[in-house]
């Protein structure tokens, strides 16, 4: 087959790389659609035909692309997938059929195969996994080709019927079968600017039913205009639809109505109750998406996140220069001879400041993405777990719109996934055990995200067996993490779950495995400047709380001074500062405690942390820092003010000093070290245990 | 109808296809027709509708399955429009949609090809249609 061979392109070519990246995008979209479908199924709603159609189109694209690169295995797999989805969208294959359940798997196999094709030795015919899956899809699909009668009784221009694809024709029949009215909504637009008006009209029609087809035709005024005919199905009759649309330039014409509809009150009642059932089919929420999808054709750009990093660095440097301008302005104002020019410079500084703040906020905003995509991945994992094990679990997700820096969101997927798997595997009891305990048979995992100041908090709460504190402490002793005779507080015992290699369940399960524990979650979070907390009620459930900064890029810092040195403390972890009298500080067991509104606050001297001389007798400042639930009072000599800073990693010997997160430049103050608040709090906690 | 600022002898092809990979494969294949070819790409039926009044085209190559308006609807529009009716049109769609392809021909498309398409066959058909159009022009 010479023609076939000529189609095969090198896997190193630019075209091939384009194919891989587009295929990845398509597969990601399929996952999102599958997830939507599963949610609709779970909710018992009538399935949105567009979800299935979109899946079909994706499989169709994959087939075409894989074929062009001679990837016969993948081409064949997507062909089979397309067949199943075609059957589904045309109503020949049930949505809950065995074939339908293979789609998830096919997407995963496709992704894996795509990855392995990087190795030029991988055969184009596809791996055994692909062949095996194709076989299974084959044996699951036994669809009879449904005979279709000619469409009759429609008062329509035959040209419009001819332009319907098989799928659109099926949707038309399906809506007629369900006894909905069929309308033709027509409107004329200027050809160079039809998008907005057409989008508005489509959205309005969709609110009242389903758009079956959009047929463009030349407008009456010739080339400069274009006319669109929207074939629509709706419970509403023509007059009601016209009133509902409220679109002065559109004409609405009935082209088909179910027999007897409107002639007696009975069908009208039926129609309205039917509408209540069918309502989820066209939720208003779907409409903005439609507008978005039209817009994305022209208004969206994709940007490499590294370019945003560069921009952010530039903004960061501007911020620092701004600080320098300010201090020169102040110096000038302090001298009578230059006071006037100093005030002018101060004014310019203020203007500059406002613009830079806008710029900074703008760049930050571009980097923010909602947690939605992470949540979608979690629902997929939960579904797979449900399928692979016999456990039932209800995953409740809240706060999907909470926004975080793109980089943080990327890094968050793994730890969050791990926490959910842990809950599923270890925390939730099997159904029989649960009902014996008087709990609902179906376990629940609730994930809630919300913003708290400059942080985003994500809580993962299950209603499982909770943590057995006694058993956890025993494990700690076995591992040599604590001594057998120690009396530990509840919190100290709970914190043991973050120690390396500790698990309270002995079995190894496939989903969470052994060796990867909460310590990894903790390390991941710490690397992002966040913390993880745990709380648990035995028999009632466990809550894991992840607290993360909204962005890593620019932070406000409190500059503090100790013995001639300056340090920057990230302001988002500073709760308050106060001037204290040394007499208010209580000392016991070598620890210093401050009574803070009735709560004991552990103090640490920054000078001691870094081995600096302390000036005796001075009234110290206490900077109360907190992360998650932990608090610590840092004793410092001076507070020198707030400043925007960009944290840069440090190199050389300081790199490995605990308690230092990085360095930053403070304009004319020069470079200072930034404190690692999480490490300081953690070390203080550890020393308290050791004491 | 005269094209805006068109060089004498240059023919313009409009590719309508939602997959970026397929679009660039189609473009690189059709560029093989020679130096007197200019390619425009539209990633949706709507975009094609916006392109049509802007330039004079000598050939349209379109996919069928696209998200906003499908290829058949585009064919129907082109073939009922006095301004564009004479532009030859090739449908390229994957195997399995024979029914839709037949409909496309019925609506006035000049040829259809099955994906994965054979580049030589595409260029042969496109070349013939462009040649014929040049003769008419």
Q: What is the pLDDT of residue B110?
A: 92
Residue in the structure block whose two tokens are 């040209």: A159
Task: Among A33, A297, A300, pick the best mutation site for testing chain B contact (most B Cβ within 10 A).
Answer: A297
The minimum CA-CA distance between B9 and chain A, rounded to whole Å, is 24
Q: Give the pLDDT of residue B17.
A: 93
Compute the distance between CA of residue A617 and CA of residue A620 in angstroms, rounded to an integer. Answer: 9
Residue B62 lies in a domain: yes
B77 vs B14: CA distance, rounded Å: 15
The CATH number corresponding to A554-690 among 2.40.50.180, 3.90.1210.10, 3.40.50.2300, 3.10.20.30 equals 2.40.50.180
Q: Looking at the partner chain, which of A7, A60, A217 has a beta carbon nearest the beta carbon of B77? A: A217
Angle, vertex CA A107, rays to CA A105 and CA A110, nearest 5:
110
Option in A19, A83, A163 nearest B72 (CB)? A163
Tell me how far apart the alpha carbons of residues A217 and B74 are, in angstroms, rounded to a whole number: 9
Q: What is the ipTM of this complex?
A: 0.80
* Cβ B120 vs Cβ A2: under 8 Å: no
pLDDT over 70 (residue B36):
yes
* pLDDT bucket at B61, cuts 50 / 70 / 90: very high
Output the pLDDT for position A651: 59
Cis bond upstream, residue B71 (ω within 30): no
Domain membership flag for residue B6: no
* Interface contact flag, A19 B21, Cβ < 8 Å: yes
CATH code for the structural domain at A2-140: 1.20.120.160
Residue A611's SS3 state is coil
b or e along A556-573 (b: 16 or more beta carbons within 10 Å of the residue's beta carbon)? ebbbbbbeeebbbbbbbb
Q: Are A482 and A488 in contact (CB under 8 A)?
A: yes
For B76, the domain range is: 11-136
Question: Rounded distance, CA A378 to CA A383, Å?
Answer: 9
Contact B94 A60 (CB under 8 A): yes
The domain total for chain B is 1
Contacts of A6 in chain B (CB under 8 A): 118-120
Query: In this structure, is residue B71 part of a structural domain?
Result: yes
B127, part of any domain: yes
**How close B8 comes to chain A (CA, Å)?**
24
Q: Which residue has the tokens 């047929």?
A: A215
Asked if residue A73 lies in contact with residue A95, where contact means CB atoms within 8 angstroms, the answer is no
In this predicted structure, what is the pLDDT of residue A323? 76
CB pair distance less than 8 Å for B24 and A15: yes
Distance set, CA A366 to CA A347, A362, A371 (Å): 29, 6, 14
Under DSSP, is residue A368 helix (H, G, I), strand (E, B) or coil? Answer: strand
Residue B5 lies in a domain: no
The answer to whether the beta carbons of residues A185 and A250 sit under 8 Å apart is: yes
Q: Which residues pair with A451 in a beta bridge?
A: A456
**Beta strand B11-16 pairing with B59-62:** parallel
Burial class (CB in 10 A: 0-12, 13-18, 19+), A29: middle
Residue in B closest to A9 by C-alpha? B25
In 3D space, the residue among B87, B74, B24, B66 whose CA is nearest the CA of residue A16 turns out to be B24
Q: Which residues of B touch A75 (CB under 8 A)?
A: 116
* Angle at the Cα of B41 from the Cα atoms of B46 and B91, rounded to 5 degrees: 75
Backbone φ, ψ for residue A597 (5° rounding) = 45, 50
- What does pLDDT average to in each consecutive run of 10 residues of chain A (691 residues)? 41 76 87 83 74 88 86 88 85 76 86 79 76 81 60 79 83 87 90 80 87 84 80 90 83 83 36 36 40 42 76 78 83 90 90 85 82 83 76 84 84 86 83 87 89 82 88 83 82 82 49 56 80 86 87 75 85 85 82 86 85 72 84 88 69 68 70 82 68 49
What is the structure's pLDDT at B128?
92
Dihedral-angle region of residue A249 (phi above 0 means left; psi in -120 to 50 means alpha; beta otherwise): alpha
Interface of B with A in 48-67 (CB under 8 A): 49-50, 52-53, 64-67
CATH, residue B51: 3.40.50.2300
CA distance B68 to A375: 28
Determine, yes or no, domain membership for B2: no
Let me know if domain A158-280 sits in CATH 3.30.70.260: yes
Give the model's pLDDT for residue A379. Answer: 82
Q: Which of A4, A27, A60 to mutate to test the interface with B (most CBs of B within 10 A)?
A: A60
Contact at 8 Å (CB) between A315 and A554? yes
The beta strands (E) that lie in A251-346 are given as: 251-256
Whether B45 is in a domain gets the answer: yes
CB contact under 8 A, B69 and A293: no
Q: Which residues of A touch B100 (CB under 8 A)?
A: 165-166
pLDDT, residue A668, reads 62
Q: What is the CATH number of domain A371-549?
A: 3.30.565.10
- A566 and chain B: CB distance < 8 Å anywhere? no
C-alpha span between A88 and A90 (Å, rounded): 5
DSSP string, B28-74: HHHHTT-TTEEEEEESSHHHHHHHTTTS--SEEEE-S--SSS-HHHH
**In chain A, domain spans:** 2-140, 158-280, 305-369, 371-549, 554-690
pLDDT of B20 over the 80 cut: yes
Asked if the model's pLDDT at residue B122 lies above 90, the reply is yes
Within an 8 Å CB–CB cutoff, is residue B2 touching chain A?
A: no
Hey, are the CB atoms on B68 and A294 less than 8 Å from each other? yes
Sort A521 into a burial class: Cβ within 10 Å, 0-12 / 13-18 / 19+: buried
B19 interfaces chain A, CB cutoff of 8 Å = yes
């Amino acid at each position: 087959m010479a023609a076939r061979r000529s189609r095969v392109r090198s896997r190193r070519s630019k075209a091939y790389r384009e194919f891989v990246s587009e295929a990845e995008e398509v597969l990601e979209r399929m996952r999102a659609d599958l997830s939507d479908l599963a949610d609709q199924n779970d909710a018992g709603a009538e399935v949105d035909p567009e979800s299935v159609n979109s899946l079909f189109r994706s499989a169709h694209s994959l087939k075409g692309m894989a074929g062009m690169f001679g990837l016969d295995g993948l081409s064949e797999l997507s062909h089979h997938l397309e067949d199943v989805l075609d059957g589904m969208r045309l109503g020949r294959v049930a949505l809950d059929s065995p074939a339908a359940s293979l789609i998830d798997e096919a997407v995963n196999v496709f992704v894996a195969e795509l990855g392995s094709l990087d190795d030029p030795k991988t055969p184009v015919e596809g791996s055994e996994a692909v062949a095996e899956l194709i076989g299974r899809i084959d044996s699951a699909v036994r669809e009879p080709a449904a005979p279709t009668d000619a469409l009759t009784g429609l008062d329509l221009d035959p040209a419009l019927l001819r332009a319907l694809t098989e799928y659109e024709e099926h949707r038309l029949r399906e809506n007629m079968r369900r006894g909905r009215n069929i309308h033709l909504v027509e409107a004329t637009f200027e050809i160079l600017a039809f998008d907005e008006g057409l989008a508005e009209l489509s959205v309005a029609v969709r609110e009242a039913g389903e758009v079956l087809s959009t047929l463009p035709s030349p407008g009456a005024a010739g080339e400069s205009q274009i006319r669109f005919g929207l074939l629509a199905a709706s419970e509403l009759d023509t007059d009601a639809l016209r009133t509902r649309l409220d679109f002065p330039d559109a004409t609405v014409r009935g082209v088909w109505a179910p027999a007897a509809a409107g002639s007696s009150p009975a069908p009208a009642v039926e129609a309205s109750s039917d509408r209540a059932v069918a309502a989820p089919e066209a939720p208003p929420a779907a409409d903005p998406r439609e507008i978005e999808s039209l817009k994305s054709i022209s208004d969206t750009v994709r940007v490499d996140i590294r370019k945003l990093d560069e921009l952010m660095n530039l903004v960061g440097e501007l911020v620092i220069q701004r600080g320098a301008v300010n201090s020169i302005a102040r110096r000038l104002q302090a001298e009578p001879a230059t006071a006037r020019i100093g005030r002018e410079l101060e004014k310019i500084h203020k203007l500059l400041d406002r613009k830079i703040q806008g710029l900074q906020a703008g760049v930050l905003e571009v980097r923010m993405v909602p947690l939605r995509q992470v949540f979608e991945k979690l629902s997929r994992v939960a579904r797979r777990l449900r399928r692979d094990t016999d456990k039932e679990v209800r995953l409740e997700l809240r706060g999907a719109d909470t926004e975080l820096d793109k980089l943080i969101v990327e890094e968050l997927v793994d730890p969050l996934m791990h926490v959910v798997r842990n809950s599923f595997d270890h925390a939730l009891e099997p159904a029989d055990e649960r009902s014996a305990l008087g709990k609902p048979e179906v376990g629940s995992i609730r994930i809630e995200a919300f913003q708290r100041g400059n942080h985003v908090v994500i809580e993962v709460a299950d209603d499982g067996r909770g943590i057995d504190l006694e058993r956890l402490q025993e494990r700690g002793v076995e591992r040599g993490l604590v001594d057998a005779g120690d009396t530990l507080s509840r919190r100290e015992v709970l914190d043991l779950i973050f120690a390396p290699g500790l698990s309270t369940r002995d079995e190894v399960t496939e989903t969470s495995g052994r060796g990867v524990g909460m310590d990894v979650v903790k390390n991941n979070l710490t690397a992002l400047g966040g913390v993880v907390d745990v709380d648990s009620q035995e028999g009632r459930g466990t809550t894991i709380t992840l607290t993360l900064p909204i962005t890593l890029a620019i932070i406000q810092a409190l500059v503090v001074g100790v013995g001639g040195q300056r340090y920057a403390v990230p302001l988002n972890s500073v709760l308050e500062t106060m001037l204290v009298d040394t007499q208010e500080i209580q000392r016991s067991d070598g620890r210093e405690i401050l009574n803070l509104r009735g709560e004991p606050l552990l103090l640490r001297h920054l000078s001691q942390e870094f081995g600096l001389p302390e000036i005796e007798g001075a009234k110290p400042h206490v900077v109360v820092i907190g992360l998650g639930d932990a608090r610590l009072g840092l004793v410092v000599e001076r507070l020198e003010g707030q400043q925007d800073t960009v944290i840069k990693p440090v190199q050389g010997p300081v790199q490995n000093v605990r308690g230092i997160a990085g360095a930053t430049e403070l304009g004319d103050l020069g470079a200072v070290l930034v404190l690692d608040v999480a490490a300081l709090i953690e070390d203080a906690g550890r020393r308290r245990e050791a004491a | 109808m005269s094209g805006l600022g068109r060089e004498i002898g240059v023919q313009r092809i409009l590719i309508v296809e939602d997959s970026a990979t397929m679009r660039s494969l189609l473009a690189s294949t059709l560029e093989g027709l020679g130096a007197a070819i200019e390619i425009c790409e539209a990633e949706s039926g709507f975009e094609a509708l916006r392109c049509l009044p802007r330039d004079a085209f000598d050939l349209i190559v379109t996919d069928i399955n696209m998200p906003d308006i499908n290829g058949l609807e585009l064919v129907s529009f082109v073939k009922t429009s006095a301004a564009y009716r004479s532009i030859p049109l090739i449908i390229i769609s994957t195997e399995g949609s024979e029914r839709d392809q037949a409909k496309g021909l019925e609506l006035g498309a000049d040829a259809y090809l099955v994906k994965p398409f054979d580049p030589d066959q595409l260029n042969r058909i496109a070349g013939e249609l462009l040649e014929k159009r040049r003769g008419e022009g």
